[in-house]
Structures are given as C-alpha cells and as structure tokens.
Amino acid sequence: MTGWTGALGTAVAVVVVRDGLPPLGADEAVAEAGGDVLLAGTGTGAATARLTAARRAWTAEAPRGVAPPGPAAIAAALRPHLEPVRVVVLPASPDGRDLAPRLAAVLDRPLLAGAIEVTSRGADVLRWGDRTLLTLTSDGPFVATLVPGVRGVEPVPDGGRGPVVAELPVDWTSAPRDATCEDVFAPPPDTTHLSEAPRIVGAGAGLGRGALSGPDAMVLLGRFADAVGASVGATRVVTDAGWTGHERQVGTTGVVVDPDLYIAFGVSGAAQHVGGLGSPRDVISVNTDPYCPMTARADLGVVADAAAVLEEMTRKLGGHRD
C-alpha cells in the first residue's frame, strides 16, 4: 500500500506506542475509527499484532536508540498526514490525553475529550461527575479521546493474518523540541485512575456490618489494597454513605473499569455495579450470601463476613490495624 492520504478513510485512531505495547483502550479507539489506526512511537510494528480491531495500520517509528518522541513532536510530525482526516480518535490513556490537545491545536479543530461514543458528527461525553450525558456535535473535523472500557471490541475476522500495514514516512528531525522523558514510573495504586487499574479491591455495604464501622473498614481496605498492589473501588451505597469519594465508585453510573483482578468485599452485585465491571480475568467475592450475584459470578467465592476476612487478611499481609 502506498500513498497515505489517498488510502486513508474519514476516520483514524492515533495510538502512541512505547516499546511495542499499545496503551489501555487502544483497541477500542481503533474499533471506533472503523479499523484504521496510525501508531507512533517505538515498537510500532510489533504493536500492530496486538490490535485485534485493526484492519489497516500505518506506523510512524521513532529513530532507534532514542526515547519515544513527546506529544509536541508527534503532533507536528503527524499534522500534514492527519489534515485530510475528519475524525481523529485517541484512547484516553495518559499519552493519549497528552497528545490529543496538541493535535487539536496544530490541526485547528475542536477537542471532544472523555467520549463514551464517537460518531462521524461528534461524540457523547459524560460531564459533572459522570452524571450527565451530553451529545457534542461538530460541523467540521474534530479530535476526540475515548474512555477505555466503555465500547468493547469485536475482533476483525482476518484468519490470523492481522492488519494491512504500511510505514508512514515521518521527518522527526524537523519536529519541535519537547520535554525530555528521563524515565517512566508506574503510578502508586492509590493514585491510579480506576479505569486504568489492573487490580481493584471493591467495598460494598457488607463492610459496614460487624465490629468495623464503614469508615474504619475503608481505612483497612486501603491497607489491604496497598499490600496487594491494588486500587480501591466501591459500590454506590458506599460512596453515597460518604465512606469514600464518588470518584471511587465502580459502575455504569460511576467509573467503568476492566481490571485483571477484582476482589469484592461485601458487594452483593447490583446490576449497575456489575455492568461497569468489564470482564476481569479473575473475580473473588467475600460475602455471607452464597447466592448473591457477585458470588455467583466469581471464580472464587468466600462465604464469610467480609469485614472479618478483610481484617484477618490485612493482618497476615502485614497491614496491621492500629
């Protein structure tokens, strides 16, 4: 395949790649753009094989032996190739959120940030604490970021061949100087946004029963989460009770997540909570009710008092209660 502008459709996903690994939400952004993706960074060729929704892929590989280019450099380098494209979709990953406003600026078009659905005319976004759905429209081209975990992905039936790949010629030498990245550190689990957390421990109403009060149980849950490298989530009952902030609420009316591991303490499994849980690889439920929806869904169900189990597990892991 030759000729970038002649082969490109009206929508494309732009994905920043580091060492061959696409970020969380990359496949969903590709699917939302109809299967066309432009990958920029390091290891872009290897990253194409990890995208199950890609039909056509263009790679803009950074020079060997250097760190991935920054958002200003990527935006400047991709601008002439993206100008004919009406809809540019990026995953709302850290790199995507950095690059999207710079792309919107150099392309002189609006940015529709935090979308849960992108169309040819605009995007649906959640605002005011994710409690209000707005439909934003654009009369012309626009850039959008797609929240990971909300749209899902249907793999392209390609018989295992993968996407058609073409190399995009990019002149990195003329790109503007950007901030220099010295190193990248994984964020502490307690500061990781729930939508990006690989491990989550969830608090339900069952933690408010027994010897521990609800707030005390949340403190203990935080210590347990630290011990197992997880982020703290909660049900709506817990956040409405004020035991933790609403930014920690997992569910369709809170934060949509898709962790590798979810450990639910005293979570019954209401529909809105389970609906925003994604498809965790492993689910553990601790609940006195062996027939509650969360335990029925779990890979491992522990039928016991959630607060007592939490206290004992935290003690064994070294996170003693004061």
Alpha carbon distances (Å) from 307 to 216, 226, 263, 269:
10, 17, 13, 17
pLDDT computed for residue 158 by the predictor: 65
pLDDT computed for residue 143 by the predictor: 97
Reported as a pLDDT band with limits 50, 70 and 90, residue 129 is low
Tell me which residue of 141, 140, 137, 109 sits closest to 124, measured CA to CA: 137
Query: What is the rounded end-to-end Cα distance, in angstroms, of the chain?
Result: 65
pLDDT computed for residue 186 by the predictor: 67
Q: What is the mean pLDDT of residues 291-308?
A: 94
pLDDT computed for residue 159 by the predictor: 53
* Residue 268 pLDDT exceeds 90: yes
pLDDT computed for residue 252 by the predictor: 85
* Residue 283 pLDDT exceeds 80: yes
Reported as a pLDDT band with limits 50, 70 and 90, residue 6 is very low
pLDDT computed for residue 3 by the predictor: 37
Reported as a pLDDT band with limits 50, 70 and 90, residue 160 is low
Q: What is the mean pLDDT of residues 136-146?
A: 94
pLDDT computed for residue 7 by the predictor: 56
Lowest average pLDDT, out of 18-27, 79-88, 122-131, 232-241, goes to 122-131
Reported as a pLDDT band with limits 50, 70 and 90, residue 2 is very low
> Which helix (H) or strand (E) element contains residue 5?
helix 4-7
Reported as a pLDDT band with limits 50, 70 and 90, residue 290 is very high
Contact 287, 314 (CB under 8 A): no
Contact 137, 127 (CB under 8 A): no
Tell me which residue of 102, 44, 97 sits closest to 73, measured CA to CA: 102
Q: What is the mean pLDDT of residues 136-164?
A: 84
| Mean of the per-residue pLDDT values of the chain | 86
pLDDT computed for residue 38 by the predictor: 95
Reported as a pLDDT band with limits 50, 70 and 90, residue 96 is very high
Residue 37 CA, chain-centre distance (Å), reads 18
Give percent of the chain with pLDDT exceeding 70: 88
Lowest average pLDDT, out of 85-89, 100-104, 189-193, 304-308, goes to 189-193
How far apart are alpha carbons 197 and 244 in whole angstroms? 17
Reported as a pLDDT band with limits 50, 70 and 90, residue 153 is confident
Q: Which residue has the higher pLDDT, 172 or 76?
A: 76
pLDDT computed for residue 162 by the predictor: 75
